[in-house]
Structure 1
């Protein structure tokens, strides 16, 4: 869903939309001004407690002529939207071939530690954080969320923005949001192969 569609849906729930047109006048201006903060609050609840958004980045590793674990990579430097490691996943990339890597570890939830015999390209997966919504966010901006997640954002936004107008309706929207949020499940992550493999090299 686009930011325009989400704002329009929120206004419709607050009885302030004229059909499919996003009206910006004295009756909606305060609602529209408060929408970015309300949307960010909803995203924080959803991403930190219900779902996660998996992304990957490539890290080039140069060989080192010694043994041990002397190299670490700060994942925050490889992904501006880095949130947390989540379920550890690292793959060796060799042209079109991709295979699970072994022997790696993570420190403090953000530092990838690799053996010195690693070399080449490695694909590292992580949980990402959505781009922060601001008053300047373009209406055409497509939120990087599945529809089942994006469609409940207007419920939370309306529940926060409509409190002063009708608290009972706002409470109903918040309850509907929480019920829908409880039913969400995180996207799949992890490695699945038809034969057993040790992914960390320690088991």
Structure 2
């Protein structure tokens, strides 16, 4: 087996698209009525769908935690055409994936993309639309104001929040049952998306 790869110049931003308000976006909204630094006019509940998906970038930190920034801040850190290209590509990819997954009983609540450049061409790099980079919800359990059943790493986040961990390394060791349940969630979403099974 082999894979053909190309070396790119990584653009050091994570391009996050949010179709529904959840996770860190929900926490920010409760504090400031903003998401990604943008004022949200309507009153929202947890897991509610935005009228239009939001582009909420963050810096890509080599060490420590990524920093959420506004699109306006992103524009100030790079050429405008690059920032607009990242935003447009991210929103287009999200919309395509959301519609595809919805037909399979899954809501793509939010996800992140990363991009690199080869000359003047901007291309998608790294993982995308995986349980590590996305929030996948089961449509049948979706209800505004609740936290829907998910097939992603939120299960691990929820467990870690019960441990009192201060989010500084090293992370607590995960119990075997948490590992097993996470594995099952990842295998299930793989089967739902691809129609195939991983052994």
Given the two structures, how large is their TM-score scaled by the length of structure 2? Answer: 0.23
Greater relative contact order (Cα < 8 A, sep 6+): 1
Compare CA radii of gyration and give the structure with the larger one: 1
Given the two structures, how large is their TM-score scaled by the length of structure 1? Answer: 0.22
